[in-house]
Structure 1
Amino acid sequence: MRSIRILSLSLLTAAAFAPSAFAQDYSATDSTTDTASGKHFAVVGGVALLQPKNDPVEGIRKFDGGPAPTLSLSYYINDNWAVELWGAADKFNHRVRGVGNERLGTVEQQPIALSGQYHFGQADNVFRPFVGVGYYESNFSNEDLVAPGVTEHIGLETAKGAIGTVGVDMNINSTWFARADARYMHARPEVKVGGEGTGADAKLDPWTVGFGIGARF
C-alpha cells in the first residue's frame, strides 16, 4: 500500500509540473509558429497488449494475452475531431488453454480499425484526453487447435464489430507527443470445424492497452 501511495504522489507531482515546463518551452519560441494547432495529420507507433476474456466458449478456459507492435494514422478535421486508422503491425499470438489449464494450441490474430475520435481541450494542452468509436475487423490465422474427438481443422471466423477507445496524449512539443490508450473490441467469431460453421461463437471481447510515440504534421 505504501508503494502505491508513493507512485500516486509521484504521478501527481509530474502532472503538476509538466504543464509549467511545457509552457516555459513554448515561451522560449514564437507562439504563432510553434503550435500543434492546425496540423491535420498524425502518426503513432507503439506496442499494445491484447487480452481476450476468460471462458470464451465451452471447453476453453483462457486465451492468453500477448503483445504486438501497432501503428496509427490520423486525419484531424480540426483541432478536436479526427478520423483514425489503427491496426497491429504484426500478429498477436495467443496460447489457448482448456478448463483444466491443459494446452489446446495456439492462434494468431491481426486487428485493424477505423474510428472517429474527439480530442478534448486545446491542441497545445500538455494532456489531451480523447475518446473514439468505430468499426474493426480481426483476421485469425495459423490456428493450431485440438479438441477431444475432433480430427478436422479447428478455426475461427474473422471477428468484426464495434470498437471503443479511450486515451490521452501528452504533448512533448508542437510536433511530438506520447500516447497511452485502451481499446475494447466486441469480438464474437464463430468457431469452425473442417471449414464449416458450428453455430458456437467464441466470446473473446478483448481489451488492448497500448503505449506509443507520435508525431503530427
Structure 2
Amino acid sequence: MKLKQSVLLVCALLSPLAAMAEAGDWVIRARAVNVSPNESSDLGKYLNREAGAGAGSKLEVNDQVIPELDVSYYVTKNIALELVLALGTRHDVSIKGANGVASENLGSVNLLPPTLTAQWHFRPDQTFDPYVGAGINYTRFMDNGLHTNQLGGQDIRVERNSWGPALQAGFDINLKDGWLLNADVKYLWIDTDVKLKNGPKIDSLDINPWVIGFGFGKRF
C-alpha cells in the first residue's frame, strides 16, 4: 500500500499542467556546474623554436565545480533566450613539461564567463521538455597572477577578453506550480594569448570547456 501511494505521489508531481510555457514567461534556474576545459596549447612549439627544447610541452587548466544562476525569457512558446550569470570560476594553470622542460604549477586565473543563448524547446507543454541552443560567450580573465620559475623566472599574463560561440543542449522536467528540474550541457569556445610580462607571446591557449550542470528552476 505504501509503495502504491508513493508511486501515485510521484506521478502527481510529474503530471503536466495545461500549459507549461507561454510567450512572456520568465524562468530562473540554479545549477551546480562542472567546468571541464578541453584545452589546446602551442607552448611546446614556442619553446622548441626559441630554445631547442620542450617540444610537446603544453599549458593545462584544471576542472572546477561552481554554482550558476541563469535567467530565461520565452519569446514564444518554443523559443527562449537564456542569460547565464555564472560566478567567477578559478582554475589552476600549469606547465606539463616534456623534452627538457619541467612540469610546473604557474598559479591560477579567475574567469567570468557570462553566456547568452537562444533555445528551441521541443515539448514546452509536456513534462519532459528537451531543448537545444546556440549563442555567444564573453569571458573576462581576472586575477591572472601567473609566474614561472623557468623562462627566466618571469610573471605571465593572459589576454583579458575572449569572445566566442556557445552550443547548448539539455532538458527540463516540468513539475507542478511552475517548478522544474534541469540538466544542461554547454560547449564554449574560449581562447587567449599567453605572454611573458617582459617578453613575447609564448602560447595561443584554447580553453574550450564543457560545462555540465544539474539544478532546479521556477517559472513565473
One-letter amino acid matched to 1:126: T
Q: CA deviation at 1:55?
A: 4.5
Q: 2:37 aligns with which of 52, 68, 71?
A: 52
Q: CA deviation at 1:42?
A: 0.7
- 1:2-50 CA distance string (max 9 Å, x none): xxxxxxxxxxxxxxx89x8158845xxxx65xx3232611111112111
So what's the TM-score if we normalise by structure 2? 0.77
Q: Is the counterpart of residue 112 in structure 1 residue 111 in structure 2? A: no
Q: Distance in 2 between matches of 1:195 and 1:76?
A: 49
Which residue of 1 is the match for residue 21 of structure 2?
A: 37
- 1:120-156 CA distance string (max 9 Å, x none): 11x2311111111111111111123223224553222
Which residue of 1 is the match for residue 215 of structure 2?
A: 212
1:135-214 equivalence runs, <5 A: 135-147=136-148, 148-157=150-159, 158-194=161-197, 198=201, 200-214=203-217
1:58-137 equivalence runs, <5 A: 58=43, 59-88=57-86, 90-100=87-97, 101-121=103-123, 123-137=124-138
Q: Distance in 2 between matches of 1:62 and 1:44?
A: 31
- Percent identical among aligned pairs is 27
Q: Contact 1:155/1:195 (CA < 8 Å) preserved in 2? A: no
- Structure 1 runs of 4+ off > 4 angstroms? 22-26
Q: CA deviation at 1:163?
A: 0.5
Q: CA deviation at 1:194?
A: 2.7
One-letter amino acid matched to 2:27: A
SS at 1:47's partner residue? strand
Q: Distance in 1 between matches of 2:94 and 2:14?
A: 53
Question: Which structure's CA Rg is the greater one?
Answer: 2
One-letter amino acid matched to 1:79: K
* Cα 1:55/1:49, change in 2 over 3 Å: same
Q: Distance in 2 between matches of 1:137 and 1:81?
A: 22
SS at 1:21's partner residue? helix
| Aligned Cα root-mean-square deviation (Å) | 2.6
Q: Distance in 1 between matches of 2:28 and 2:113?
A: 18
Q: CA deviation at 1:52?
A: 1.0
Q: Distance in 1 between matches of 2:198 and 2:214?
A: 37
Q: Contact 2:15/2:127 (CA < 8 Å) preserved in 1? A: no
Q: Contact 1:190/1:197 (CA < 8 Å) preserved in 2? A: no
- 1:44-88 CA distance string (max 9 Å, x none): 111211111245341434211101111111110121101111131
SS at 2:11's partner residue? helix
How many residues are treated as equivalent by the alignment? 192
Q: CA deviation at 1:97?
A: 2.1
One-letter amino acid matched to 2:179: W
Gaps of 5+ in 2: 1-6, 44-56, 98-102
